[in-house]
């Protein structure tokens, strides 16, 4: 996120806290497609057979609005990282609800907490990644369709990567983790994280160019 966009985000946060509900829709909408990719990549096929990623996105919207007073603007990218933390925490709870309770033969609801204290301070940072149709304008039906098609296309490219590359893209780009936090999560050293990121992005760019040539 650029410094200009960061200043806009801080201004919008102030408007929301002054009671402007539409400002929250505007702010959330700026990250909707990237957050949807995060949900798609984090859920896995089994969970997506139980619940649609769009539903998880809507639940994240509702929870983020409910918890907004707990959000404290920090460095650039802090709002997206906060949203991603809520979404991935929700996904973890859904995995527990659908799959861990299956082993016990029951379906007990689990609580949702938007905090990620186990990640520790500074575990997330803004990371350059593929941009997918994020605009500051309100969504129209045609734009929503276009953006969803772009999301589906990008997810298909990422899911075609080898698992080790797919995972580093997910945690670095779409969860916004630092190199150090990603290395700890993936149980590799920091150089390996950097090398895998470079390789993954190089493959994705080659696939994008090949797709453009085939359409041309």
By C-alpha distance, which of 62, 120, 59, 65 is closest to 90?
59
pLDDT tens digit sequence for 54-80:
999 999 999 999 999 889 887 778 889
123 exposure class (CB count in 10 Å sphere: 0-12, 13-18, 19+):
buried
Yes or no: say if 182 and 168 are a contact pair by the CB < 8 Å rule: yes
pLDDT tens digit sequence for 103-144:
655 544 434 343 443 444 344 444 433 333 333 344 444 454
| DSSP element (H, E) containing 211 | helix 190-215
* Residue boundaries of the structural domains of the chain: 3-215
- C-alpha distances (whole Å) from 148 to each of 14, 105, 144, 201 are 30, 36, 6, 21
Lowest mean pLDDT segment, chosen from 7-11, 16-20, 129-133, 134-138: 129-133
CATH match for 3-215 among 3.30.470.10, 1.10.40.50, 3.10.20.740, 1.10.1740.10: 1.10.1740.10
pTM score above 0.75: no
């Amino acid at each position: 996120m650029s410094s200009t966009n960061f200043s806009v985000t801080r201004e919008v946060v102030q408007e929301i806290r002054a009671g402007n509900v539409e400002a929250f829709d505007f702010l959330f909408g700026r990250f909707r497609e990237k957050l949807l990719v995060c949900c798609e990549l984090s859920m896995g096929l089994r969970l997506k057979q139980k619940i649609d990623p769009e539903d998880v996105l809507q639940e994240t919207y509702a929870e983020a609005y409910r918890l907004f007073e707990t959000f404290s603007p920090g460095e650039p990218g802090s709002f997206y990282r906060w949203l991603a933390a809520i979404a991935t925490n929700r996904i973890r709870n859904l995995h527990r609800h659908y799959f861990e309770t299956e082993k016990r033969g029951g379906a007990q609801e689990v609580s949702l907490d938007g905090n990620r204290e186990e990640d520790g301070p500074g575990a997330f940072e803004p990371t350059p990644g593929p941009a997918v149709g994020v605009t500051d304008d309100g969504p129209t039906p045609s734009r929503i369709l276009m953006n969803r098609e772009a999301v589906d296309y990008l997810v298909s490219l990422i899911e075609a990567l080898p698992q080790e590359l797919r995972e580093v893209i997910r945690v670095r780009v779409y969860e916004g983790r630092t190199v150090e936090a990603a290395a700890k999560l993936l149980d590799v050293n920091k150089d390996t994280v950097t090398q895998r990121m470079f390789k993954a992005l190089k493959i994705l760019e080659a696939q994008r160019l090949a797709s453009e040539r085939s359409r041309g």
